[in-house]
Amino acid sequence: MTKAPTVYDVAAHAGVSIATVSRVLRRPDDVRPETRTRVLESVRSLGYVPSGAARGLAGRRHGVLGLFLPGHDGIDEPEPDWARVVDPGRIPLVDDSAGRGALRVDAPTSSTPSPATLYFDEVLRGAEVESWRRGFALMVAAGRGSSREVMLNDIAGRVDGLAVLAQTVPDDLLAHVSRRIPVVVLADSRPGDQLDHVSVDNVAGMRALTTFVLEAHRARDVAYVTGPTDSPDEADRHRGFDEAVAAAPEPVAVRVERGDFSRDGGRRAGESLLASSAPLPRAVVCANDQTALGLLDVLAEHGVAVPGQVLVTGFDGIEAGRFSTPRLTTVRQPMGDLGRVAVRSIVTRLTDPGAPPQRVTLPVEVLLRESCPAV
């Protein structure tokens, strides 16, 4: 092996400063295209690979940011028993005629994506892009139960700053970690700590959507399907729903069904509404899209017309809502921007550790589709 090229070699080869080389590798959009092309050609020609360790030593940092998603991985799932498949060429047959991945008895079991997985796919993508633009790598970690504190402490020792989902880590543990590195809390705008927070406007979004259901469609009998009781998003969305009902020009009969942000939870809520002796409500407002999609499944199975008999709405704006039948009316939150802004907040805190806590609330928008159409 020959001696590894350095950033100085790349700069000399491309005829630019080492600062320009650094900008091309960290923030390429900030450099003129012709200069960027010349530097990247030099990088390829010389076989240069940036040294994360060297950057960390120079800046007294790791060059890595963390995203901690406790409970949303497969860490506790048993390892697949590959040896039990006698014939490697035998392909499992899956009966998916119901659209929910129902498996044959002789097929190996498999897990389906949770609503949290779908949500964090978008958050993670935004955090990855922004970390790269800011010259950082992104480390993603997860843990459950008693492993949560161990894993949080472990990742905190490896990164320069950390983004954590609200209500998934005890406050005292977050306070402990924040004494060492910047911590930003995702999806919780409530005051009460000295941490940075990034959330979306759940209250206003749900209020606007519910107001549309009540006024444009003149719905006077409405069901609300909740999310988990410990979710800050659920608390804010329920509040927005209640505010819209309270402000309605005519009295509104409200039924509440418990949900858990999952498609199965939406199915259970739908079965409960159908089993009730009371007539179906004119509209069902769901706390998230996965819940609404489960509800649509049940209504379709029982021949209930949407939106003819029942209006259905969700919240989040996940891709699946664009392809449901009918397509789902929802409040779209900027999930990718949550990740991007969280990274920006960490970088700002690294630059100015003494700045007062920042609470950023991102705007949302109502998407009117066929499940509750514009009128």
Sequential pLDDT tens for the chain (375 residues): 457 788 889 999 999 998 898 888 877 888 899 999 999 999 888 888 765 555 554 455 678 999 987 654 444 445 555 455 556 567 767 666 655 544 333 333 444 445 455 677 888 899 999 998 888 999 988 765 545 666 777 788 889 999 998 777 777 778 888 888 899 999 876 666 788 999 999 999 999 999 999 999 999 999 999 999 888 899 999 999 999 999 999 999 999 999 999 999 999 999 999 999 999 999 999 999 999 999 999 999 999 999 999 999 999 999 899 999 999 999 999 999 999 999 999 999 998 988 888 999 999 999 999 999 998
* DSSP H helical ranges for the chain: 7-14, 18-26, 33-46, 52-59, 115-133, 147-156, 171-178, 202-216, 232-246, 263-275, 289-301, 335-351
| Euclidean distance between CA atoms 251 and 236, whole angstroms | 22
Longest CA–CA separation in the chain, Å: 80
Task: Report residue 162 as tokens.
Answer: 């950390």
Question: How many other C-beta atoms lie within 10 A of the C-beta of residue 95?
Answer: 11
In terms of DSSP bridges, do strands 253-257 and 221-225 run parallel, antiparallel, or are they unpaired?
parallel
Beta carbons within 8 Å of 229's beta carbon, 6+ residues apart: none
Beta carbons within 8 Å of 323's beta carbon, 6+ residues apart: none
Task: Report residue 157 as tokens.
Answer: 């020792």
Output the CA angle 59-63-66, nearest 5 degrees: 135
| Euclidean distance between CA atoms 251 and 94, whole angstroms | 48
Q: What is the pLDDT of residue 231?
A: 86
State the pTM of this model: 0.74
| Euclidean distance between CA atoms 40 and 32, whole angstroms | 12
| Euclidean distance between CA atoms 143 and 140, whole angstroms | 11
Q: What is the pLDDT of residue 108?
A: 39
Nearest Cα to Cα of residue 219 among 276, 283, 290: 283
Q: In order of start, what are the domains of the chain with their CATH numbers?
A: 7-50 (1.10.260.40), 64-72+113-198+335-361 (3.40.50.2300), 202-334 (3.40.50.2300)
